[in-house]
Amino acid sequence: MQSGREKSAVPRRAPGAHSGQRITLKKLAEQLHLSRTTISLILNDVPEAARFPEDTRNRVVESAKRLGYRPNYFARSLNRKPTCLIGVIAPDFGEGYEAALLSGFQRRLLNTGYTCLVSTHLWNRENLQRDVEALCDRGVEGLLLINSTPNEPPGIPAVTICTDRSPIWSTRISIDNAYGIDKAINHLVSLGHREIAFIKGPRGGGDTEDRWNAILATSKRLGVRVDPDLSVQLEKLEPVGTRHADEGRMAGETLLRTGKHFTALVVFNDISAIGAMTALRDAGRKVPEDVSVIGFDDIEFAGIANPALTTVRQPLYEMGATAAELLLRKMVDEIPPRDLRFRPELIVRSSTCPPPRAGLREERSPSAEVLAK
């Protein structure tokens, strides 16, 4: 005899069968008093589902059948018919970094028969979890997660790029930040710079802490002081969107308001570096004559900025293509490497040069009134 809870969890008649309403994953989760992730794992019959009791797994499968729940991925498990869909999730595509990765990813998928469904969560963890579940509902066979690591495994093959951790369920592609930062700061020091300011990545960014720790280690080894007053962090603007250059401009203005002198600036990424150069020019500082600026990524806009930006180049196209290759292998049950790290390259352009001589420095230094505006 069923308990009252079991009666409510598994009704005798599918509520959507005659009403014409589709039974969603959310509704099924509410009926069974289980999380949507738990149900996805069980219905996908992935290895992680084995951690749930057998009676729970059976209850989910039988209830899904009785309630008429047939999302694409569940139908695939019954019919063995692939959907040829791959999900791509990123915070947004406003700075060029994600777009370059996606370009390489999609190019590799050409002629494979797979189509991408793309979603952005705008740096919101609840949106991220919702996007994972929504794409799984639509039958994607694998996921590319750019700077996006959900708290729970998605239950399908996944590859992550630019994340601060490497979950056991994912293959992670990353960049050797220590190598890239070492090349950047060595370049500035070789030009004669010792008074260097830094713009750190945003909180929660996949490479933020790794890149910052590399700055601290390299600066210490080279005898360059990292002044806390000349070290600021990028702050995400609301509403989030294509405002990354504004974030860099605001960080540059914060540095200028300290009134402290610096001859070079290392910025977390290229689009923020371009924004910071705007702040410098507005304050009467010339780039690179007064302040050399160096970025990270080598997005398309870096080479056409004014002046063209010296930067640390990530092989973004190659990283995206490799992510597609690894995901395709995982989707046919091959076991690719857990972690794959790429080595960046320093690209020297016209935004860096030797620091100004002392006399020229005093002549070009902006007044306090300019900085206050």
DSSP codes joined into one string, 110-131: TTTT-EEEEEE-TT-HHHHHHH
Q: What is the pLDDT of residue 3?
A: 39
Q: What is the pLDDT of residue 276?
A: 98
Identify whether residues 268 and 306 lie together within a single domain.
Answer: yes
Q: What is the pLDDT of residue 82?
A: 78
Residue identified by tokens 């009704």 is 11
Cα separation, 371 vs 108, whole angstroms: 49
* 371 residue type, one letter: L
Identify whether residues 250 and 354 lie together within a single domain.
Answer: yes
Identify whether residues 350 and 216 lie together within a single domain.
Answer: yes
Q: What are the mean pLDDT values of the chain's consecutive 10-residue runs (373 residues total)?
A: 35 37 74 86 78 90 78 48 89 86 96 94 89 87 93 87 82 95 98 98 90 97 97 82 82 97 97 97 97 96 96 97 95 84 97 81 45 42
Identify whether residues 101 and 40 lie together within a single domain.
Answer: no
Identify whether residues 52 and 70 lie together within a single domain.
Answer: yes
Cα separation, 66 vs 48, whole angstroms: 24
- Which of 50, 79, 108 represents a domain boundary (last residue)? 79
Q: What is the pLDDT of residue 48?
A: 74
Identify whether residues 12 and 114 lie together within a single domain.
Answer: no
Domain that holds residue 274: 177-314+346-372
Contact 142, 158 (CB under 8 A): yes
Identify whether residues 62 and 136 lie together within a single domain.
Answer: no
Provide the β-strand partners of residue 264: 196, 292
Identify whether residues 155 and 202 lie together within a single domain.
Answer: no
Measured CA to CA in angstroms, residue 110 lies from 83, 160, 217, 325 at distances of: 16, 20, 42, 12
Identify whether residues 192 and 286 lie together within a single domain.
Answer: yes
> How many domains does the chain contain in total?
3
Identify whether residues 95 and 155 lie together within a single domain.
Answer: yes
Q: What is the pLDDT of residue 240?
A: 55
Q: Which of 208, 206, 211, 151 is nearest to 185 (CA)?
A: 211
194 DSSP assignment = -
Q: What is the pLDDT of residue 267?
A: 98
Q: What is the CATH number of the domain that holds 18?
A: 1.10.260.40
Helices (H) and strands (E) in the chain, counts: 14, 12
Identify whether residues 273 and 198 lie together within a single domain.
Answer: yes
pTM: 0.76
Q: What is the CATH number of the domain that holds 141?
A: 3.40.50.2300
Identify whether residues 252 and 281 lie together within a single domain.
Answer: yes
